[in-house]
Chain A
Amino acid sequence: MKQIFLLILLLIFLISCSNNNSEVIDYKDNNLSNGGVLINAMSAEPSNLISMIAGDSASSAIASKIFNSLIRYDENLNFTSDIAESWKISKNQKTITFKIKKGLEWSDGVPLTSADVYFTWKLITNPNTRTPYGADYTLVSEAKIPDEHTFIVTYDQNYAPALDTWASLEILPKHILENEDINSTFFSRKPIGSNYYKLGDWISGQQVNLIKSDNGVLGAPHIDKLTSRIIPDTSSQFLELSAGNIDLMNINPIQFKRVFPAKPKLKRRTELYKEMGNGYTYLGFNLNKKPFDDKRVRQAINYAINKEEVIKGVLLGLGEPISSPYKPGTRWNNPSLKPYAYSPKKALSLLKEAGYKMSGNNFLVKEGKALEFEIITNQNKQREMTAVLIQRRLKEIGIKVSIRVIEWASFVNRFIKTGNFDVVVLGWSLSLDPDQYNIWHSSQQGPGQFNFVGYHNEKVDLLLEKGRRELDLDKREKIYHEFSKHLLEDSPIVYLYAGYGLTAVNKRIKGIKMPAPPAGIYHNSYNWYIPKSLRRNEFTDK
C-alpha cells in the first residue's frame, strides 16, 4: 500500500515537472543571434550521402546542406549563383559558360575549382556510375575547363532544361574521390562538402548531426547544429514534437486540422506552415490493357470520380483539384483547363457509347464481360482512403472495383516495373523544370521507365520534343499549355489532387518566411536563427 502511495506521489511529481517548463517561455524574442540547435525528425534514414547515387528524399535532404551545385533556385524560382558567380548562354543557345567564384574551399581546406566541376560531370556520365540521373548530362557533347574558374559545356542541340540540370547536380571533391569507386566509397557515409554545414556524426538508426562549417560557399549559417532524428512512425514523431524534443516535422491534414486546435498549449508554441507542394496524386490506367485502351472508358471513369469529395474526405480540404501536371499558380499550369466535373450521368452515357449495357444485377456489361478491375496502391493511408472513395463512386454507376494495398518495394518491382496492373493510385513529385519527356513520351515505356501507363500520342510526343529544345520562356509556356490540353482530353490518368505540404515548427525557430514563397519555406533555412533566450539548455564541450 505504502509503495503504491509513493508511486502515485512520484507520478504527480513527474507530471507537474513536465508541465512547468514550457509555460514560462515568451516566444516574442526576435533578436538575431548565432548559435543553438535545431532538431528535426525524418521518417527514413538516408541511404547514402552522395545524391547522384542515393536517389531517396531522406538522403538528398541531408546532402543538399553539405554540397553545392553550380547554380541554385532563389525564392521566386529564378536561377541565382551558388558555386558559379555567373553564367552566360551563347547566341546559338548551345553553349553555357559558368564563371566559378574565386577563393572557394572544401570544408577540409582544399581549394574548390573548375576541376572539381569537370570531375563531377565525368563521374555522372560514366556508365559505371550507378545513377538514375545520368541521361540529362550525357546530352553535353563537350565540356571544357580553360582555367581554374571557368567551366564550359556545349550541347549538340538546344536543351531547355539544361540550367535546371546544373542546379540539381551537387559538385563532389575531386581530391578525395579521384581514385575511389563512387558506388561503394566510404565517402558516402563521411562526406566532405562545401556548403554551410558539414557532417558531425551519423549514428545509424538514430540521428544525423550536421555542424556549422565556417568556410562554406554561401557563408556560415546562424544555427550551429542541425540534428535530424530518424523516427519512422509519424505518430511517434508527433509525440516527440508535443514533448518539445523536436522542433520541426511534416504533419498530415488530420494533425493540422484536428489535433492542433484541440491542444492549445502545443499550439501556443508551434507555428504551422501550409504551402502548395510540387506534386500530385492520380489514378493511372494501364493503357495496354482492355478496356482502358478506349478513351471513352477513361473519360467516363474521370467523370464518375468526385475529386472535391476526395479532397474534403482525405485531405480535410487541404488540397486543390488540378487539370494539368503542373503546380497550380505557376506559369506552366494552363489556367484555361478545368478538371472533369463530377457527373455520373455523363459517365454512363460515355460508357453506353462505348458499348456497355446495364445488366440485371446493376453492373455494366459488354459482350458478356462485366466492367471490373483492381486498383493497387502502396501502404499510404491517404491513397488507400482515396481508393475506397473511388471504389464507392464507381460502384454507384455499375463498375466493380477491388482494392489491393501493397508494400512499396514489391509494389514497384512486381507491379509497376512489369506493367502487371489494371489501375494504380500513385503520386508524382515534379522537378521545377516543366519538361516531362520521361513521364509521357512514348519512347519511355521500357521496363523501369516512367511512362509505365503506356501513354502514346504522336502530337504529345512532338510537343515534348519541341518543349525541351525551346529556350524562350513564353514560347515554351505555350507548348506546355498545349501539351496539358491533350493530356487532359486523352485522360490517361485521372488527376485527383495536389495536396498542401504541412509543416509544424517550434516558435523558437525564427526567420521562416510566411506566406511561403514559391520555392517553399526551406529555401532560406540557412537564414533561420534561434534567439538566445529561446535556446534549449544543452551540454557542450566548449
Chain B
Amino acid sequence: MIFFKGNSLAIVGFIIISIILFVAIFAHFLSPYDPNYIDINSILLPPSLDHLMGTDGLGRDVLSRMLYGARISLFVGFVAVGIATLIGIILGSIAGFYGGWLDSVIMRLVDIMLSIPTFFLILAVIAFLTPSIWNIMIVIGLTSWMGVTRLVRAEFLSLRQRDYVLASIVMGTSNGKIITKHLLPNSLTPIIVSSVLGIASAVLIESGLSFLGLGVQAPTASWGNILTDGKEYIQFAWWLSLFPGLAILVTVLGYNLLGEGLRDVLDPKNK
C-alpha cells in the first residue's frame, strides 16, 4: 500500500486484484456448493439466502460457479501472459542486442503478427484444435508476445549505448551474461507493466472464447460460459448475466488500474 502512496486508483486496483486472487485460490473453501452439483428441482432460482447469486438452468449454484470460474480466468491470464512475456523477452533481447539482419527479421515478424486481428486468429486456430484450457492458454500466449518484444528491444537499444554496458563488452564479458546481468534487470519495469495489462486482455479473450463456446468446455465453469448461459434467459434471469459480466468488468478494470499504477510508481520519468 505504501508502495502506491498517493495513487488512490492504483490502490483500488491492487485491492480488487488481491480479493480476486484470494477468492480464486480459496474457491474450494469459500463456495457454498459443489459448482457442478445439478439440482433439477431448483432451476433458475433468483438470488436468495440459500443461493446468493441464484441458480442456473440446471439448478447449479451460480456463486460457487463464479468462484471456480475466477480460478479459470486468472489461471488462463497468468499462464498465457507468462508464455507471451517469455517469448517477448527472448525475441526482444536478440533483436535489441544483436541488431542487424536478425533485428530486421524479428521486427518484420512482429509487424506481420500485429497486422492480423488477434481475436480472429485465435478463433481460427481454436476451431481446429480441441478446445481445452491448455490450448487456449498456449494460443493466447503465442499470439500476444509482440508488444513485449518491441518494448524489450527498445529498452535494449538504448541501454546498449550506456557506458557500463560498453565497459562490459570491452572487458570481454560474454553476451549472455551482459543480457541477463545488465540489460534485462534494467528493462524490467516496462515488462512488468505490460504483463499486468496483458493479463487483463487475456482474461477478456478467454471470456470471449468461452462465450462463443470455443473456450473451457462444459461442465467446467468459467465467467464466459456462465454469461452465455445467461444470454438464453436474459429476459427474466438477470442474475445469470449480471454477475459474470460484472466480474469480468471489475477484474479487467482492476488489472488496468494496477498496471497503470505500477507504471507511475516504477517509472522514474514520472516522478
Contacts and interface: CB of A to CB of B under 8 A. Distances in A.
Nearest to B228: A381
B217 A389 contact: no
Interface stretch (B14-22, B36-44, B174-182): B36-44
A93 B236 CA distance: 58
B182 to A, nearest CB: 49
Contacts of A239: 235
Given A259-B236, A404-B131, A254 B219 contact: no
A238 B236 CA distance: 12
Contacts of B213: 379, 405, 407
B127 A407 contact: yes
Contacts of B36: 392
Interface in A235-288: 235, 238-239, 242, 252, 254-255, 258-259, 262
B163 to A, nearest CB: 59
A313 interface: yes
A391 interface: yes
A387 interface: yes
Given A391-B219, A402-B217, A403-B218, A313 B231 contact: no
A385 B57 contact: yes
B190 interface: no
A392 B38 contact: yes
Given A392-B38, A403-B218, A238 B235 contact: yes
A405 B218 contact: yes
Contacts of B217: 402-405
A252 B235 CA distance: 13
A388 interface: yes
B59 interface: yes
Contacts of A404: 130-131, 217
Interface in B128-146: 130-131
Nearest to A310: B40
Nearest to A233: B231
Interface residues of A, number: 30
Given A254-B44, A312-B40, A313-B58, A384 B218 contact: yes
Given A313-B43, A404-B217, A407-B127, A388 B231 contact: no
Nearest to A306: B40
B235 A388 contact: no
B170 to A, nearest CB: 60
A402 B57 CA distance: 20
B227 to A, nearest CB: 13
Contacts of A413: none
Residue with the greatest number of chain A CB neighbours at <10 A, chosen from B229, B231, B233 = B233
A391 B218 CA distance: 10
A105 B89 CA distance: 76
B40 A388 contact: no
Interface string A106-131: 00000000000000000000000000
Contact of A410 (B57, B127, B231, B232): B127
A258 B234 CA distance: 12
A58 B190 CA distance: 55
Nearest to A252: B232
Contacts of A259: 235-236
A407 B128 CA distance: 11
B241 to A, nearest CB: 10
A224 interface: no
Nearest to A375: B218
A381 B218 contact: no
Contacts of A312: 40
A389 B130 CA distance: 22
A316 B43 contact: yes
Contacts of A381: 57, 229, 232
Contact of A389 (B44, B58, B127, B231): B58
A242 B131 CA distance: 37
Nearest to A381: B232
A391 B219 CA distance: 9
Interface string B201-232: 00000000000010001110000000001011
A262 B43 contact: no
Interface string A389-419: 1011000000000111101001000000000
A309 B57 contact: no
Interface string B104-129: 00000000000000000000000100
A313 B38 contact: yes
Interface in B7-26: none
A199 to B, nearest CB: 33
Given A313-B38, A388-B58, A258 B44 contact: yes
Contacts of B218: 384, 387-388, 403, 405
Nearest to A389: B38
Contact of A258 (B38, B131, B219, B236): B236
Interface in B219-271: 219, 229, 231-236
Nearest to B233: A254
A513 B142 CA distance: 59
B136 to A, nearest CB: 14
A254 B130 contact: no
Interface string B56-75: 01110000000000000000
A313 B219 contact: no
Contacts of B229: 381
B44 A235 contact: no
A410 B130 CA distance: 12
Given A388-B218, A391-B219, A313 B40 contact: yes
Contacts of A252: 232
Nearest to A391: B219
A270 to B, nearest CB: 14
Contacts of A242: 235
A239 B236 CA distance: 12
Nearest to B232: A381
B40 A235 contact: no
18 contacts: A235-B235, A239-B235, A252-B232, A254-B44, A254-B233, A258-B236, A259-B236, A312-B40, A313-B59, A316-B43, A381-B57, A381-B232, A387-B218, A389-B40, A389-B58, A392-B36, A404-B217, A405-B213
Given A235-B234, A389-B58, 4 more contacts: A309-B40, A312-B40, A403-B219, A404-B217
3 A-B pairs closest in CB distance: A313-B40, A388-B219, A403-B218
Interface of A: 234-235, 238-239, 242, 252, 254-255, 258-259, 262, 309, 312-313, 316, 379, 381, 384-385, 387-389, 391-392, 402-405, 407, 410
